[in-house]
Structure 1
Amino acid sequence: MMMMIMMGGVQILIKGLSIASGYYKDPQKTKDAWDDDGWFSTGDVGRFDKEGRLWVVDRKKSMFKLAQGEYVSPEHLESVLLKSPWVRQVWVYGKPSERYVVAVVVPEKKVVMEWGKRNGLDWDFLALCDLKNLKNEILTSLRSEVEAKKLPSFQKPVDVHLEASLDDLQQGFTLDKGMLTPTMKFKRAKMVEIYKDVIEEMYRHSHEGEKR
């Protein structure tokens, strides 16, 4: 097996006697998947751990490139951000014209309500999620998780939006909203469509912060 190094990950290419030489009666698909030397592109992106084991972390088509040319594997980054106690669900995105990512977070309701009580705020969940102080707490936590994993600084979210509209299972990203596939993967193009205005506002807010 051969590895092709990419910024932000490893594209997994394979070749061997057990690998087919092409798709049946589909020359265009074969041309897209096999290079001239017979290496097959799996479409997966992986990383090596300290023991040298390869972990599949994302699909190549899910990756996006930032303005400085750096690639981001969203599934890997989301798995890191999910370690924050504030986060129930998280989706990350980066515009190709921007240098950093932004995040939409479905907060853990119990953690948010406990935070409200500690701060003397006997408010409901929706009202708490509108507070700038809460958003800053969650953003700080997300950035700390990125630092703990020693990921590049451009993977630290510059802003976060809190999705407080939950279903009975306290999920904000759901199949019913058309956000997920049947295997519970993000429909990333749909997410961009849904949160288009939110994304623009987060980047606008981050630019204002840079000017201050």
Structure 2
Amino acid sequence: MAVKIDLRKAGFEFFSIVVAVVLAMTLTEWRQDYLNKKLAQQSLLNIIEEVQENRRELMEDSAKISQDMAFIDRWLQAQNNASNEDFGVHFSFSFLSKSALEVAKINNSLTYLPNEVNMQIAEVYAAQNFYSGNAIKLFDIMGAMGRAESKENAEAFADKARQLRFHLGLIHNTIKAYLGESQQFLENHRAIPTS
């Protein structure tokens, strides 16, 4: 028995299957691209919210650090005048969050944001890391001051106070840099920075 094959019908069926597979793959890719972009936008919104919260904390720290620096300046001046005023600063260190950035890295959503947005995010978090690194060093200086107060003479303690004042100034300038970077970032993304 001879089987008759209709080549036109077989070609049409083959072509229909190929078109259906390509169409299904294209639709799947479009859907995945849409979901990736949506995830990237949510990650960006989370980062913006985190930056706003970090700004609020650093603005409070900045005011307290300004008071500490003014106190140290007065204390050092008083030491030159042989005053016995007690030394006391109340350094405020905020542990700034970067969890939104970490989540965005874990879910790879940053790869779906434009490169210039990634650069802005990197600059904001680099300033944040610089603040955190310098602020942690300040605790070592304050610990050394506590030991120096009981073991060394007044001039050695005054030297440590000058060192503390220098590092407070460095941290204060770092906060200003972060506030500037984050202000620009928030303005670029039309988020209103909180004061």
TM-score bucket of the superposed structures, by smaller chain: under 0.3
Q: Which has the higher helix share?
A: 2
Find the structure with the greater CA-based Rg.
2
- TM-score under structure 2 length normalisation: 0.26
More strand by share: 1
What is the TM-score with the length of structure 1 in the denominator? 0.25
More relative contact order, 1 or 2 (CA 8 Å, 6+ apart): 2
